Amino acid sequence: MKKFFDKHWKARIYKIIYHSDTPAGKLFDVVLLVVIIASILLVMLESVNSIDLEYHDLLNTAEWIITILFTIEYILRIVTNSSPKKYILSFYGIIDLLSTIPKYLSLFLVGSHSLIALRALRLMRVFRILKLARFMGESNNFIKALKASKVKISVFVSFVIILCVILGTVMYLIESGQESGFTSIPRSVYWAIVTLTTVGYGDIAPVTPLGQLIASMIMIIGYGIIAVPTGIVSAEFASQKNEFKKEEDLIPETKTCPECLTNDIRVEAKYCYVCGAEIA
Amino acid sequence: MKKFFDKHWKARIYKIIYHSDTPAGKLFDVVLLVVIIASILLVMLESVNSIDLEYHDLLNTAEWIITILFTIEYILRIVTNSSPKKYILSFYGIIDLLSTIPKYLSLFLVGSHSLIALRALRLMRVFRILKLARFMGESNNFIKALKASKVKISVFVSFVIILCVILGTVMYLIESGQESGFTSIPRSVYWAIVTLTTVGYGDIAPVTPLGQLIASMIMIIGYGIIAVPTGIVSAEFASQKNEFKKEEDLIPETKTCPECLTNDIRVEAKYCYVCGAEIA
Amino acid sequence: MKKFFDKHWKARIYKIIYHSDTPAGKLFDVVLLVVIIASILLVMLESVNSIDLEYHDLLNTAEWIITILFTIEYILRIVTNSSPKKYILSFYGIIDLLSTIPKYLSLFLVGSHSLIALRALRLMRVFRILKLARFMGESNNFIKALKASKVKISVFVSFVIILCVILGTVMYLIESGQESGFTSIPRSVYWAIVTLTTVGYGDIAPVTPLGQLIASMIMIIGYGIIAVPTGIVSAEFASQKNEFKKEEDLIPETKTCPECLTNDIRVEAKYCYVCGAEIA
Amino acid sequence: MKKFFDKHWKARIYKIIYHSDTPAGKLFDVVLLVVIIASILLVMLESVNSIDLEYHDLLNTAEWIITILFTIEYILRIVTNSSPKKYILSFYGIIDLLSTIPKYLSLFLVGSHSLIALRALRLMRVFRILKLARFMGESNNFIKALKASKVKISVFVSFVIILCVILGTVMYLIESGQESGFTSIPRSVYWAIVTLTTVGYGDIAPVTPLGQLIASMIMIIGYGIIAVPTGIVSAEFASQKNEFKKEEDLIPETKTCPECLTNDIRVEAKYCYVCGAEIA
């Protein structure tokens, strides 16, 4: 009797924590999201020196409360799950552990406290929660379109990286003697990426005329080839949209004539437009 | 008799101020637009120290004239409106008040004068005026396309923000010991947004090799995923264009039944699909 | 007799200068293009102090040669043209004059020499020359697509400018007390444009947390709404492509049956697919 | 007998080196790719001063090993090829030589060692290897789409460059008296490219109000016209996708004539359009 009750209790908790199709499950998800966001804001505030100096005790207390909440959630997830190992070793299981443990570690190990920032990874649970909710359809289309253009995008990214390695090396040969920050090839490649992606920090910038000429070429290339991934994804989205519409357009709009077998008769037609036969 | 006249007078002013389909209404809109732009140029000039020092009195006089014009407009809008409360509490009503009141406040409260810059918000009335004019069709298509992709764009923006929070936190862990400006997590997240959106101020820039490697990854991600919103909106615009064209295309492809006057019969049909009458 | 010869001579020169469909006309265009580019490189080199100091006499001589060549061309264009006034007052006529006169002016007026840089405007003649040559078809499609989306793009650009004015003013209110460069509203608006367009110089950058939060929002907006003009132009190009293809697809592919008047019969068909009548 | 064996041996090596459709050929390609990437990482590490100081001997030894491997490969490529001259003078032949020779040169010529960075050019072999592998289809579509929009993109790039020359010159006239870095026209043109492509280093930035106004215009132009190449490539990709799909779509919509075996007859046809035979 006791065992049955336990199992029942576990199953109920399991449903609340892992599913979100019940009111309690939805409430749990929302509360969890709020606590996660609060925990991240807390870590952020703590990292600002002036705030930490003034409100250290308050922030510390709040963090312990959240850590304990996360600990309870973690234990419940393990206890109620029929295959705890699978959860513990899963992507979200590891993140959940990593976002709980640093606070406990900070009691024994000085310096380990900053690891608490790993808690930001819990934000990824947002996708989990959203996935189970109303954005599901949208995300699915997203993922489908991205998957369809995966190979193309990989080719494009490899191309960009190889281009940056080659151009960064060339720039190192040209600018390395100057005071312009091209002190090593990795730094030059970093600069090439900063330039090609049109970010342009300006911490490293060419000073020789030849260097500026090549930099100009890199910029124009970067400005131009952004069109390639955009074109790929646009075509993918457009084609998906068309397909969806075509399916919608075709299926409900035609029926077949019983006499002449013309098969593209409108659903609202009473007579076949080829042979004039009456259609039920 | 007096009352009737008053009502009449109010209705006429109301039509001029709130509608733009009469010549007087159009003139009012144009004058209002010119005064709004003049008032904003005035606030701009005043904010430039060197100009303010030389022409302070001139600028101050001009501002009082505009403030009084705005006050008259505001009072007229309230008086002529049959439901003044609705206008006062509406979006544009609040903006109109906020752009008039700071000048009066500056007589009593020192320092409140700079609030006059809120007048820039009145620029939003441009959309109002344009909406009522010839751009209406265009804006409608705009808004339709943007509405259709609203959910997708929200998902995308959330994804970008979450990515920036996570990557900013990771960069804080890596770079916080250095002299590179990653002094707190919020600042690091700010840097991640600056980098991912390819703005790249350069006031904060990574100096450690690992930091630069992750920064490169963020840049390439930012450079690549710009394709996603672009693809969404492109597909939306293209689909809208197609739909519009399809409607246009269908028209010449149909003929009308001489018996039942059904007007969307295919050109190749021999019999009406509604009444079965033979068609020449 | 003399007169006739003169007229003949003028007509021949006119054809060479103004048209490019004869071998001599093509040669003239190519030579002109080379001289224009040479003249611009010359102006560029002269503006570099270190080069100007060393080769001043050489550059000066070369510039006089080019100025005289341009003068001859300018005079010929006037003399051979039947309506010289129209040419002199045309866009290219004014540019041709502006690129010739500064060198002469520099003999009398000290300091007017730098105006020679206006010669860069002659580069626009490239479009003229290209337009008359093989790129014509391409440019036409370009211009057609851009014209079709002119209104939409105007709406978009106005929206961007208004947004920058409003956001720049808001940032001025927030950051003006700080040492971050937001010294006046025009400068703040300039900064908003630098940020929204994702250029990001970094000469002005927010330092207050609230300023950085709003800056982040501006960046994400700028990063997102780039999709709008891209979407408009993509849809325009795609629709043009489709139309072009549809025309190609439809016209040569159908003919009408003389018996039953079915009008979508393939050109290669010998018999009508509806009534079986033989088709010539 | 000896000669035949030699030829046989050469042919086998040739097949391994030049083709990748045999297991040995594939293995060779993978090993080559790994060695190329290792050699580039080596050059990168060596260019970092702190690493070079500590591990100079280790890096030098590793580099000699790779140089010898490359030398063996280069000799084999010449020996086994039936037309060695063609290989030596080909694009990849020159790159292979350039990436091998600097190490030998560094024995005689001091300072020539840095040329070893040319080895990065060997990365281009990646495309070669990938081309022969599974990405072939994707790359083909890529290249087809890019080729189709080649002329359009050339026109666009010329337009961007001419715009930058003109705007850069104008900015030089405005800003050259200031301390803002516009010291010569080439530098100003460089700045215009940096700004138009939205890279925005900030090493050169306008300080005069007029300069900032024009800079703002350049930014908005640059922000807007990015839509043009994107639109071109998007339309190209979309059209390619459609064509592919149309071909697919047509297949199930036809039936075959029982008399003349014409196989692209429409499903709704009653008579064959080639021979006029009635179709069930």
Nearest Cα of chain B lies from the Cα of C147 at a distance, in angstroms, of 14
| Residue B231, C-beta contacts closer than 8 angstroms, at least 6 positions apart | A145, A230, A233, A234, A236, A237, A238
Domain count within chain A: 2
Contacts 24+ apart (CB under 8 A), B85-90: none
A255 - beta bridge partners?
A265
Reported residue count of chain B is 280
Number of other residues whose CB lies within 10 A of the CB of residue B217 = 12
In angstroms, the CA A125 to CA A132 distance is: 11
Among the partner-chain residues D200, D230, D234, the one whose CB lies closest to the CB of B200 is D200
Q: Which residues from A are below 8 Å from C199, CB to CB? A: 200
| Cα–Cα distance for residue pair D125/D179, rounded to 1 Å | 46
**Contact list, B199 vs chain D (CB under 8 Å):** 200
What is the Cα–Cα distance from C232 to C229, expressed in whole angstroms? 5
The H helix count followed by the E strand count for chain C is 12, 2
Asked if pLDDT for residue A2 goes beyond 80, the answer is no
Of A198, A199, A230, the CB nearest to C230: A230
Kindly provide the b/e burial profile for residues A112-137, where b requires at least 16 CB atoms within 10 angstroms of the residue's own CB.
Answer: eebbbbbbbbbbebbeebbebeebee
Q: Is C107 on the interface with D (CB under 8 A)?
A: no
Neighbours of chain C (3+ CB pairs under 8 A): A, B, D
Q: Is residue D13 part of a domain?
A: yes
Which secondary structure element, helix H or strand E, spans residue D245, and what is its range?
helix D227-250
Which DSSP helix (H) or strand (E) runs through B27? Answer: helix B23-47
Q: Under an 8 A CB cutoff, do B201 and D201 touch?
A: no
* pLDDT tens-digit readout, A61-109: 998 999 899 999 999 989 888 888 888 888 888 888 888 888 888 888 7
Residue C63, domain CATH: 1.20.120.350
- Shortest Cα distance from C225 to chain B (angstroms)? 8
On whether residue C215 sits in a domain, the answer given is yes
Same domain, C124 and C221: no
Of D91, D113, D135, the last residue of a domain is D135
Q: Assess whether B36 and B8 both reside in one domain.
A: yes
Q: Determine the distance in angstroms separating the CA of C195 from the nearest CA of chain D, rounded to an integer.
A: 10
Among A106, A135, A164, identify where a domain stops. A135
* Helix C23-47 vs helix D150-175: crossing angle, to nearest 10: 40
Give domain status of residue C122, yes or no: yes
Domain boundary among C135, C164, C182: C135
Number of Cβ within 10 Å of residue A22's Cβ equals: 12
Tokens representing residue A3 in the block: 């065992």
Confidence class for position C58, pLDDT limits 50, 70, 90: very high
pLDDT per position as a tens digit, C191-241: 999 999 999 888 888 988 899 999 999 999 998 888 888 888 888 887 777
User: Rounded to 5 degrees, what are φ and ψ at C106?
Assistant: -65, -15
One domain, residues A123 and A169: no
First to last CA, chain C: 62
- Provide the CB-side half-sphere exposure for A170 (13 A, CA): 18
Cross-chain CB nearest to A234 (options C200, C202, C234): C234
Q: How many CA atoms lie within 13 A of A117 on its CB side?
A: 25
- Residue A271 backbone dihedrals phi, psi, to 5 degrees: -130, 145
Summarize the confidence of residues A12-38 as an average pLDDT.
Answer: 83
pLDDT value at position D246? 56
Percent of chain A at pLDDT > 90 equals: 11
Give CA–CA dist A108/A258, Å, rounded. Answer: 83
For residue C230, the chain A residues in CB contact (below 8 A) are 230
Q: Are residues D79 and D175 in the same domain?
A: no
Alpha carbon separation from C77 to A159, B134, C14, C18, C74 (Å, rounded): 50, 43, 7, 8, 5
In a domain, A266, yes or no: no
Residues A42 and A118 in one domain: yes
- Please report residues of B whose CB lies closer than 8 A to that of A193: 216, 219-220
Per-residue confidence band for B267, with pLDDT thresholds at 50, 70 and 90: low
Per-residue pLDDT, C132: 44
- The pLDDT score that the predictor gives to residue C219 is 93
Q: Indicate the residue type of C208.
A: T
pLDDT on residue A113? 65
Query: Which of A209, A231, A238 lies closest to D230 in CB terms?
Result: A231
The predicted pLDDT at position C192 comes to: 94
**Assigned token pair, A1:** 């009797």
Same structural domain for residues B75 and B111? Answer: yes
Establish if D226 belongs to a structural domain.
yes
Q: Which two tokens stand for residue B16?
A: 């001029």
pLDDT score recorded for residue A75: 92
H/E segment holding residue D266? strand D265-266
- Return the pLDDT at A140: 61
Q: What is the residue whose two structure tokens read 């800079």?
A: D215
Confidence band of B36 (pLDDT split at 50, 70, 90): confident
How many CB pairs (< 8 A) connect C and D?
175
Contact D198, D222 (CB under 8 A): yes
Span A242-272, pLDDT tens digits:
665 555 554 445 666 666 766 666 666 667 6
| Stretch (H or E) spanning C159 | helix C150-175
Q: What are phi and psi of B181, to 5 degrees?
A: 95, -5
What Rg, from alpha-carbon coordinates, does chain D have? 29
Question: What pLDDT shows up at residue C217?
Answer: 92
CATH of the domain at D214: 1.10.287.70
% of chain B beyond a pLDDT of 70 = 74
Interchain proximity C270–D271, CB inside 8 Å:
no
Does the beta-carbon distance from B239 to A242 stay under 8 Å?
yes
| pLDDT beyond 70 at C244 | no
**CB proximity under 8 Å: C 176-215 to A:** 198-202
Q: Quick check: A172 contacting D, CB < 8 Å?
A: yes
Same-domain status, B213 and B103: no
**Of B159, B213, B163, whose CA–CA distance to B188 is shortest?**
B163
Residues of A in contact with B185 (CB under 8 A): 43-44, 47-48, 117, 120
Structural domain harbouring C11:
2-135
Cβ-based contacts under 8 A for chains A and D = 145
Rg over alpha carbons for chain A, rounded to the nearest Å, is 29
Q: What would the two tokens of residue D113 be?
A: 């060692």
In order of A43, B131, D41, D192, the CA distances from D28 in angstroms are: 51, 66, 20, 47
Chain A residues with CB under 8 Å of D237 CB are 231-232, 234-235
d(CA D62, CA D51): 14
Q: How big is the CA angle at D269 (ends D267 and D274), to the nearest 5 degrees?
A: 110
Angle, CA of B41, B46 and B47, to the nearest 5°: 100
What was the pLDDT predicted at C1?
A: 47
CB D260 within 8 A of CB D279: no
**C202 neighbourhood in chain A, CB within 8 Å:** 201-202
CA D207 – CA C201 distance, rounded (Å): 12
A212: chain D residues, CB-CB within 8 Å = 186-187, 190
Same domain, B233 and B184: yes
- Regarding whether A225 and A130 lie in a shared domain, the answer is no
Structure token pair of residue A189: 């490649």
Residues in chain C: 280
State which H helix or E strand residue D255 sits in.
strand D254-255
* pLDDT number for residue C269: 65
Q: Does A230 touch chain D (CB under 8 A)?
A: yes
Q: Decide: residue C167, CB within 10 A, 0-12 exposed, 13-18 middle, 19+ buried.
A: buried
Q: What is the mean pLDDT of residues B160-179?
A: 86
**pLDDT one-digit tens code per residue, B131-168:** 544 444 555 666 676 777 777 777 788 888 888 988 89
Residue A195 lies in a domain: yes
Q: A233 to chain C, minimum CA–CA distance in Å? A: 12
Q: Is residue A227 part of a domain?
A: yes
User: 252-271 in D: which are within 8 Å (CB) of C?
Assistant: 265-266, 268-271
Residue with tokens 């499903």: D267
For residue B210, the distance in angstroms to the closest alpha carbon of chain D comes to 14
Does residue A120 lie within any of the structural domains?
yes
Residues written for chain D: 280
Helix, strand or coil for residue C255? strand
A278, β-bridge pairs:
A271
CA-to-CA distance for A92 and D204, rounded, in angstroms? Answer: 47
Identify all chain D residues contacting C142, using CB atoms and an 8 Å cutoff: 152, 155, 228
3-state SS record for chain A: CHHHHHHHHHHHHHHHHHCCCCHHHHHHHHHHHHHHHHHHHHHHHHHCHHHHHHHHHHHHHHHHHHHHHHHHHHHHHHHHCCCHHHHHHCHHHHHHHHCCHHHHHHHHCCCHHHHHHHHHHHHHHHHHHHHCCCCHHHHHHHHHHHHHCHHHHHHHHHHHHHHHHHHHHHHHHHHCCCCCCCCCHHHHHHHHHHHHCCCCCCCCCCCCHHHHHHHHHHHHHHHHHCHHHHHHHHHHHHHHHHHHHHHHHHHHHEECCCCCCCCCEECCCCECCCCCCECC
A44 in contact with C at a CB cutoff of 8 Å? Answer: no
At A178-216, the pLDDT tens digits run: 777 888 889 999 999 999 999 988 888 898 889 999 999
How close A194 comes to chain C (CA, Å)?
A: 12
- Mean pLDDT score across all residues of chain B: 79
pLDDT range class, residue C6, cuts 50, 70, 90: low
Q: Which DSSP letter does residue C260 get?
A: T
Q: What is the DSSP letter of B278?
A: B
In A, which residues are within 8 Å of C203 by CB distance?
none
Mutate to test the interface with B, among C154, C162, C166, C244 (most CBs of B within 10 A): C166
Q: Which residues contact A48 (CB under 8 A, 6 or more apart)?
A: B184, B185, B186
Rounded CA gap, C186 and C176, in Å?
A: 12
Strand, helix or coil for residue C271: strand
Whether residues D110 and D33 fall in one domain: yes
Least reliable range by pLDDT among B138-147, C84-93, C103-112, C251-260: C251-260
Span B7-36, average pLDDT? 82
CB atoms within 10 A of CB A244: 12
DSSP labels, D26-56: HHHHHHHHHHHHHHHHHHHHHHSHHHHHHHH
- Residue A134, pLDDT above cutoff 50: no
Based on the fold, state whether residues B98 and B190 are members of the same structural domain: no
CA distance A211 to A175: 7
3-state SS class at B273: coil
Q: What's the pLDDT at B214?
A: 92
Residue-level pLDDT at B239 = 76
Same domain assignment for residues B67 and B171: no
Low-confidence ranges of chain D (pLDDT < 50): 1, 132-136, 250-252
Greatest mean pLDDT range, A147-151, B114-118, B157-161, D268-272: B157-161
Give me the total of CB pairs closer than 8 Å, taking one residue from chain A and one from chain C: 10
Question: Do residues D169 and C117 make contact, with C-beta atoms less than 8 angstroms apart?
Answer: yes
Over residues B230-247, mean pLDDT:
73
Tell whether the model's pLDDT for residue C119 goes beyond 80.
no
Q: Which two tokens stand for residue B136?
A: 């209406």
